[in-house]
Amino acid sequence: MTSKPLMNLVATQCRPEVEEKFNKWYNDIHIPMLFKFKGMKEVTRYKPLQTPGDKGPIYVAVYLFESPSAFEAYGKSPELAEALEEMKESWPDGGFEIVSRVQYEPIKTWKK
């Protein structure tokens, strides 16, 4: 039996004044560090089409793992630990917050 992939959806909100710095850091430093984990197969970031008010935009990152067990191993991985340490160093005073983090398993896929 083949294991189903697992999607980890993470929504982050950053202050408007650090938006450019946040996106550069997330794209150029954070994701590459996390992507070193071999069970992570794909990452896609999404930005809002419109800024939703004065709290700043909410960005969504979709991390696709090969299986639930790969996601579980990721939670204990040196890659994640290293990325979290780096995040504390790069953002000692905050500037963004994780709004939500939810894991999903597929039900069915339709493709054209």
Segment 69-88 mean pLDDT: 97
Contact 13, 57 (CB under 8 A): yes
Concatenate the DSSP letters of all residues of 18-87 into one string: GHHHHHHHIIIIIHHHHTTSTTEEEEEEE--SS--STT--EEEEEEEES-HHHHHHHTT-HHHHHHHHHH
pTM, two decimal places? 0.90
Segment 88-112 mean pLDDT: 93
pLDDT band at 79 (very low <50, low <70, confident <90, very high): very high
Segment 22-31 mean pLDDT: 97
pLDDT band at 92 (very low <50, low <70, confident <90, very high): very high
| Average pLDDT score, the chain | 92
Residues in the chain: 112
C-alpha 96, offset from chain centre? 13
Phi, then psi, of 57 in degrees rounded to 5:
-75, 150
pLDDT tens profile 36-74: 999 999 999 999 887 666 667 789 999 999 999 999 999
